[in-house]
């Protein structure tokens, strides 16, 4: 049989820990109070989580609204630029160019109207699914802006 050697200092530390743990009386009221504190802390944490989730959702709604407003502002700018192109095409003395420009402007107006409808559709898409639709509209707006710029540049050649 083997004997385990435990240093006296270790025994003293263990005895001291046991004595200090036993020196505080545990009462039913104290346990009940601690349970109640834990419940209150849990409720507070739930409420804080709920508020954080609401704040995150509101931030997402605000972000989405801002992005849709950006799209609408771009469409408004496109509308202004198309109007300028129409005025310029009417001033053109070259009848062949005037007809081509008028046709191009009409196509751009149709694209602009299609984009307005697409923005309205994006507004109605559930929040979780709208990002891809937003990107498609953003790309389409960019393409239309490039077409307008090319037409503007070609009109500058006729002036």
Is residue 13 in a domain?
no
Report the alpha-carbon distance of residue 90 to residue 85 in Å, rounded.
9
- On whether residue 55 sits in a domain, the answer given is no
Mean pLDDT within 128-140: 81
In a domain, 82, yes or no: yes
Q: Is residue 78 part of a domain?
A: yes
pLDDT tens string 82-109? 888 888 777 777 777 777 778 888 888 9
The answer to the question of residue 35 being in a domain is no
pLDDT for the residue 31: 76
Residue 42 lies in a domain: no
Per-residue pLDDT at 1: 45
| pTM, to two decimals | 0.61
Q: How many domains, in total, are found in the chain?
A: 1
- Give the whole-angstrom CA distance, residue 1 versus residue 138: 84
Quick one: pLDDT at residue 96? Answer: 72
Q: Which domain holds residue 141?
A: 64-158
Whether 73 has a pLDDT exceeding 90, the answer reads: yes
Asked whether residue 87 is domain-assigned, the answer is yes
Give the Cα separation of 95 and 7 in Å (integer). 110
């Amino acid at each position: 049989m083997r004997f385990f050697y435990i240093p006296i200092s270790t025994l003293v530390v263990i005895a001291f820990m046991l004595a200090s743990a036993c020196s505080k009386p545990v009462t039913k009221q104290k346990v009940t109070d601690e349970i109640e504190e834990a419940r209150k802390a849990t409720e507070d944490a739930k409420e804080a989580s709920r508020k954080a989730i609401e704040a995150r959702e509101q931030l997402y709604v605000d972000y989405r609204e801002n992005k849709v407003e950006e799209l609408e502002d771009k469409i408004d700018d496109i509308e202004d630029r198309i109007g300028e192109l129409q005025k310029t095409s009417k001033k053109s003395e070259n009848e062949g160019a005037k007809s081509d420009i008028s046709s191009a402007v009409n196509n751009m107006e149709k694209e602009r109207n299609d984009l307005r409808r697409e923005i309205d559709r994006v507004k109605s898409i559930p929040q979780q699914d709208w990002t891809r639709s937003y990107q498609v509209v953003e790309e389409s707006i960019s393409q239309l802006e490039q077409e307008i710029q090319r037409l503007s540049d070609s009109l500058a050649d006729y002036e």
